[in-house]
Amino acid sequence: MDIKKVEKEGVLILDVEGDIDSLSSFDLSRVVRESLAVDKSRFVFNLKGVEYINSSGLGSMISFLKRAREKKGDVKLAAVKSHVLDMLRQTQMDKLFEIYDTSEEALKKFTGK
């Protein structure tokens, strides 16, 4: 998994490439933990490069959301491929996460711009 971080207007945009599974979710978890430790709790996960998320990956994402909200932040998803979106809908995770077509749209929901 490859994760690129860009901060815009106090929101951390994570461009994720690769599968989110039991092994790779540790990398994503490390980035989220490090960010939360310095009071960065607003995230956009750009999932354009994600082809697959397994149950461990889904569990990790729920954990990230919970930890961000405990710090008065949130996690929004962007650019989710249709087959990944289908899985999110099947597991009803689309009810937990706000999902946007682009990172820019998700960023606007945080910033109001």
| pLDDT tens digits along 23-57 | 888 899 999 999 999 999 999 999 999 999 999 99
Read off φ and ψ for residue 46, nearest 5 degrees: -85, 110
Tokens of 30: 């490390």
Average pLDDT over residues 55-80: 95
Class of domain 2-111: alpha beta
Tell me the C-alpha distance between 23 and 57, whole Å: 9
Is the model's pLDDT at 22 over the cut of 90?
no
Average pLDDT over residues 58-69: 94
Q: Answer yes or no: are the C-beta atoms of 71 and 38 closer than 8 Å.
A: no
Q: Answer yes or no: are the C-beta atoms of 45 and 35 closer than 8 Å.
A: no
